[in-house]
Amino acid sequence: MSFGSSIAGLFGRSPIRPLQKHYDTVHDCALGLGDFFSAVRDGDWERAREARQRIAQLENQADELKKEFRLNLPKSLFLPVPRSDLLELVSVQDKVANKAKDIAGLMLGRQMTLPPSLADSMTDYLQGAIDTSAQAKKAINELDELVETGFSGREIRLVEELIEELDRLERANDDQQVQIRAQLFKLESGLPPVDVMFLYKIIDWIGDLADRAQKVGGHLQLLLAR
């Protein structure tokens, strides 16, 4: 017996909350990278392995959520924003988690140590990237408020401001990257060449992490565009 099916059945699953939950998981990956880094600095490879394990698990969870999200978005749904934009947004979000997992994987695999004079600024640099992701999370968390207001007025301006702040954080992270490269350049003659190569790679990837978090904001802007 399913009386009253017409009204209740009219409502599809809202894509907004799953999208937010997905980014929450993604951001947890980025946060896990902070724990991983502190273990690497202490030279505690056992703890580092556990931290990387956690990041990998979270990344798997994010993948699952992404799949579920795609399956629950059939073509017959009438959405407040274009379906293709939502599907792209979830892909863009997912890439942040992948990057975090890559960074941890490479550093653990090569048991990379940070040169002592570089350790502090590297930690700050990573924190900058994590902060960028946190800001992206903040912006994504405004999505339900956006639907409530019908994507209009003050709420749009508020999200625009959040995205501007996100861009600012990413630029600051870029500046940090330039400085760290310069520092490493001064040290590199005294370090094993292969290690230096991979250090540059990690520096690049942390920059990518911030970059990808910024792209989440960019795609959110696409949703706002009329």
Partner 1 sequence: MEWMLEHSTLMLLIAGGAGFFMALGVGANDVANAMGTSVGARALTVKQAVLIAIVFEFAGAYLAGGEVTATIRKGIIDAEVFNQTPHYLIYGMLSALLAAGIWLVVASWAGWPVSTTHSIVGAIVGFAAVGVGMDSVHWGQVGSIVASWVTSPLLAGFLSFALIKSVQKLVLNHDDPFQRAKKVVPFYMFLVGFVITKVTLVKGLKHVGLEMSFGSSSLWAVAGGLVVAGLGVLFLNRIHPDPEADKDFRFSSVERVFAVLMIFTACAMAFAHGSNDVANAVGPLAAISSVLANGGVIGKESIIPGWILLVGAMGIVFGLAVLGARVMATVGTKITELTPSRGFAAELGAATTVVLASGTGLPISTTHTLVGAVLGVGMARGIGSLNLRVISTIFTSWIVTLPAGALLSILFFYFFKGLFGA
* Chain contacts with partner 1 (rule: CB under 8 A): 1-17, 76-81, 144-145, 147-155
**Taking the complex as a whole, how short is the minimal distance between the CB of residue 155 and partner 1, in angstroms?**
7
**Taking the complex as a whole, how short is the minimal distance between the CB of residue 104 and partner 1, in angstroms?**
30
**Taking the complex as a whole, how short is the minimal distance between the CB of residue 92 and partner 1, in angstroms?**
20
The angle at the Cα of 210, spanning 144 to 114, to the nearest 5 degrees, equals 140
The amino acid at residue 9 is G
**Cα-based distances in Å from 78 to 73, 147, 165:** 10, 13, 32
Nearer to partner 1, 14 or 113 (CB): 14
Nearer to partner 1, 16 or 184 (CB): 16
Nearer to partner 1, 77 or 187 (CB): 77
Evaluate whether 48 touches 36 at the Cβ level (below 8 Å).
yes
Q: How far, in Å, CA of 52 to CA of 87, rounded?
A: 28
Nearer to partner 1, 118 or 156 (CB): 156
**Taking the complex as a whole, how short is the minimal distance between the CB of residue 169 and partner 1, in angstroms?**
22
Q: How far, in Å, CA of 25 to CA of 47, rounded?
A: 21
